[in-house]
Amino acid sequence: MVLQYRGELIRQILRRCHRAVAATKTSAGLTSFHGVWPPSEKKDFEQDMRIVPDFISEAEEKQLHEEIEPYMSRLRYEFDHWDDAIHGFRETERKKWYPKNRELLERVREVAFNGAIMPYVHILDLAADGVIKPHVDSVRYCGNTISGISLLSDSVMRLVRIDPQKYQQNGSSDNAEDTAYRQQPAALLENNFYADLLLPRRSLYIMSHTARYNFTHEILANEHSKFLGNPVPKTRRISIICRNEP
């Protein structure tokens, strides 16, 4: 009984340490703002869209990759997604993980979520020439926070401001667009404001609240993958994505 108590106490201390370390790592230098941002919106965005560099170590990246690669390598990359949001990808969901990797996902929960995450973790494998088009994940299928670990490659994520009222973000509509897993409003750059975010390999992004609902997000194709004017070559990229309940 004493050993069990001590074990739980140690786990609690480690969780507090992980949160403290993540809090000290900021998105400073990893976000490039474009257009004229209203000050209040920029402040909300900086709170709701965070990047934690070096969230996992090289060894932890290796152990995650080794667990999922045997299954992912048997899948074919698809270039004709049913909702046309992704090209050059393969994906799956996973509920059971090796203990060490379950500990990594628990770290994601502790840092990114105020509560539980959905039991199935989304694994999205994007080929070097793959692209994720601008979209907003439907509120019918996930809650106010989406968080992902980036494996194998750096990439650039772009978030473009939209009017969420035009796309039934309250989830109450019966329109086909509203029931789709991903909505794809036009991500217009002219006379608008948006942000480019550098997602380093082994980083964690946390997209919540205003960033989650009021912006499309996309992973730029290689020909457009630049940050602060510098090319960011994207090779094969795997995202380990956690969400909370709607």
pTM: 0.82
DSSP state of 125: E
> Which residues touch 61 (CB under 8 Å, ≥6 apart)?
151, 152, 201, 202
Domain 1-243: which CATH number of 3.65.10.10, 2.60.120.590, 3.40.718.10, 3.40.50.11810: 2.60.120.590
Within 49-206, residue ranges assigned H as helices are 58-72, 99-112, 176-179
Neighbour tally for 107: CB within 10 Å: 21
From first to last of its 246 residues, what are the pLDDT tens digits of the chain?
545 544 444 444 444 444 444 444 556 699 999 999 999 999 999 999 999 999 999 999 999 999 999 999 999 999 876 667 889 999 999 999 999 999 999 999 999 998 889 999 999 999 999 999 998 887 888 899 999 999 999 999 999 999 876 654 444 334 444 444 455 555 667 778 999 999 999 999 999 999 999 999 999 999 999 999 999 999 999 999 999 998
Domain definitions of the chain by residue range? 1-243
